[in-house]
Structure 1
């Protein structure tokens, strides 16, 4: 665990992630409303995750899905509302950027509706030419 000050600690240890707490947030988020607990469990287990903790409770999370060689997709980054505004999301994303298994990748991607500023401060830019990108998107899969 890395001390972030003010009683917050950051960890990338998979055993530290509190899947029930992560699920509690994600199921009410705009991007995965109603996501089943089993799906969150699988996603966390198959990703490189980072969490922020205060007094033993998980208050933030983010994860990267990757082949660990060429590509990474940053997903599910959140900080509980009462802990926002303290740089915790930036600390988590930076920890993922610096993770030893995520060095030398050719491309990172993410999708966000409301946190462009957080990512811009960390060197992320908007996709300038979306033409090569395609998707299969099932927005109602958890309903």
Structure 2
């Protein structure tokens, strides 16, 4: 599948409207493009207590696992944030991305205006906690 940056951006902008963000009004959307052509989508969902809030990446990634897919099935992860500049995944999402995706998995990052850059998962968390740290 040949993905085009502008088409991915348009999908993310439509998906972001589903975010539940009554407190921050900061929308985040994530689409996992699978090698078989399927897509798994996630948005951020806030909660007044904040701690139960969930990020878009952590909405999409567990669905991927639940639907029987794994890191080898992913072609691309696309991430949109309502930021003016670079909107980075939070620390918990970085760890989750590292755990559930290949370390060289491309992630396309977009903001309110445009495509920012393509990054690998390992770029977001160079010193990730892994199974090697458990012993």
TM-score greater than 0.5 by the shorter chain? no
Rg larger for: 1
TM-score interval, normalised by the smaller of the two chains: 0.3 to 0.5
The normalised TM-score by structure 1 is: 0.34
The normalised TM-score by structure 2 is: 0.35
